[in-house]
Structure 1
């Protein structure tokens, strides 16, 4: 296979959300809240939720198909599929099923879990495979269905999360469009945001005890996550800019994980990025975890706002705790 170079280009994008939207007004019929209360604290007006019949693999495949179509690449030419998700249909992984749904018969496929940072971790992982000359065409999908694991009686968390999928096609390129990145983890803060397994003791034989159970609803210390994000995200973006040999005024767009409008505002203000350069669509989708960055990117591309050659500073942050940033150029 002829190698085009040791760089990468992001050549296509796609996204998909369930058809059912759940508004703040509707949520106020479930828990004690209001549209004004939610919107003023989070910036969210509605979120999309998947039906019992909709699988994560279906949603992810839709986003993947759209990205391949934009790039005019047949699925049979995809070498690798990376699914960034924390809510796979199957605990053993859903990426291979997506490979089958797409007809990407020669592609290797695996899941990657880094919660809301998953898409950026996947982007950097994909770049290493391409830069090493191993693969040329990588389909990266970020998809989550957090409604499955939301406590709909907890107004602190049920107002935040939604379901969605976003995808990008990453291809080998003579000019490297991934200009710089920085990834971080801090397990000492793991308890701030969890979707935890809760074992129950089960005795199978005398003297042989084990734990069996299920995963519990999402729990979050919102104040700690906010403080973590507004402190760490500007720093990691600045480090990525340093690696890219760029300054913040040279970027065209700031694209953050869509968690909370207050976080987006605080980070952009600390970086001195004007509001017109900040991409935000969480009013319509809420926090879709690993899907949020590619979903927002795809909307901006299809609306013609993000154009080929534009430089984007992006950052993901969330459970783990994990966070990271990447500076990349859209297109070849």
Structure 2
């Protein structure tokens, strides 16, 4: 058996915030320290014009449910028909229980559930897990979903330039939800499904980008409840691992990037996306660039790109698609599928 992607949707909150508004808020809340960001620095450094912000009454589970309801309705699948639900997201409603339980309760699903968490590769690793469980015959229909809520972990009151740089990754982030339905399909049929996957990690770089609060290190310290990181070091850590995992996937399948309708790549900033595209040799026209208008939606980024490409008619049944994941930790992953 293979696992085919039966559908994918994304949900983006209606409220958007521009990069200029981000800078204005930092300046206003940091006035007591006398710090003010350089005008236009966020957009100039990242290429991001706007990002989405969830309503105060929404949780990570709500964003996942919005996407899942749309997906299931469009496919004519009832929540009761699901064999398994996996919540794959960097965000969560609570430390315990698994947010997947909350999603299932809101959907009305009664199947087994669990969470998969690995920073911005959370959704991709949840897809990897679902595919393996289908391929081994344990489940036939799995819903993978995510709800990312990074807007609630952004440092707005900044002491000085050094603290602004440390918090800068948070100003790129955006809220959103995604859902993907995977179903068992005969191997080699017209819907071939996922046909290659590979993952790697450079765990010695785990401390480059963190959100420390809530764990055993900093269980109740508000000062550690904000994103902290060094974007330059994180980029260098990714590049230091080289393109091997992604180029090896091409070698092992005998394919080139031209054989794919689209190549979805995790997007943090436009300059880094261009560096990565050049290093990997991906033709620019294969990318689905969502970053300028939607920001970095963490693990929702890849399903958002795939859903966008489907809506725009850039890919469809019988087409090959590539999902290229990058995440703090540091983690890398690649999944090839035929729709």
| TM above 0.5 | yes
Secondary structure at 1:159 match in 2: helix
Contact 2:205 2:237 in 1 (8 A): no
1:328 matched to 2:333? The reply is: no
Return the alpha-carbon distance in structure 1 between the equivalents of residues 106 and 54 of structure 2: 19
Give yes or no for the alignment of 1:196 onto 2:212: yes
Residue of structure 2 in register with 1:206 after alignment: none
Q: How does 1:28-39 map to 2 (within 5 A)?
A: 28-31=23-26, 32-33=36-37, 36-39=40-43
Q: Matched residues in 1 for 2:5 and 2:200: separation?
A: 23
Counterparts of 2:295 and 2:313, CA distance in 1 = 22
| Shift in Å, 1:231 | 4.6
Q: CA 1:177/1:146 → structure 2, altered by over 3 Å: closer, same or farther?
A: same
What is the distance in 2 between the residues matched to 1:222 and 1:179? 33
Q: Does 2:143 match 1:139?
A: yes
Q: Which residue in the other structure is 1:171 paired with? A: 183
Q: Counterparts in 2 of 1:1-332, with a 5 A limit? A: 6-31=1-26, 32-33=36-37, 36-92=40-96, 93-105=98-110, 107-153=111-157, 154=164, 156-175=168-187, 176-197=192-213, 212-214=219-221, 215-232=224-241, 234-330=243-339
Change (3 A) 1:180 1:243: farther
Q: Deviations over 1:159-183 (max 9, x none)?
A: 2111111111010011342121111
Structure 1 counterpart SS, 2:120: helix
Q: Deviations over 1:69-109 (max 9, x none)?
A: 3332222111111111122111112101111111222x211
2:243 and 2:279 in contact (8 A); partners too: yes
Distance 1:242 1:8 in 2: 22
Write out per-residue CA displacement over residues 41-91 of structure 1, whole angstroms, 9 at most, x where no aligned residue. Answer: 212110111222111111100111122233322221111111111221111
Check conservation: 1:233, 1:315, Cα contact below 8 A: no
Deviation at 1:143, TM superposition (A): 2.2
**27-36 or 63-72, which deviates more:** 27-36
TM-score by length of 1: 0.88
Is the alpha carbon distance of 1:279 and 1:233 closer, same or farther for their aligned partners in structure 2, counting shifts above 3 Å?
farther
How far, CA to CA, are the matches of 1:150 and 1:137 in structure 2?
Answer: 36
Q: CA RMSD in A?
A: 2.1
CA displacement, residues 111-168 of structure 1 (integer Å, 9 cap, x when unaligned):
1100101111111100111011010101111321011111124362342111111111
Partner-residue secondary structure (3-state), 1:19: coil
| Shift in CA distance, 34/47, structure 1 to aligned 2, threshold 3 Å | farther
TM-score by length of 2: 0.87
Are the structure 2 counterparts of residues 272 and 310 from structure 1 closer, same or farther at C-alpha, using a change threshold of 3 Å?
same
SS state at 1:91 partner: coil
Task: Report the Cα distance in structure 1 between the residues aligned to 2:86 and 2:236, rounded to whole angstroms.
Answer: 30
Is the strand fraction higher in 1 or 2?
1
**C-alpha separation in 2, matches of 1:294 and 1:160:** 18
Moved more, 233-242 or 278-287: 233-242
Secondary structure class of the residue paired with 1:188: helix
Residues of 2 paired with 1:142 and 1:112: CA distance? Answer: 10
Unaligned runs of 5+ in 2: 27-35, 158-163
Mapped to 2, the partners of 1:271 and 1:323 lie a distance apart of: 13
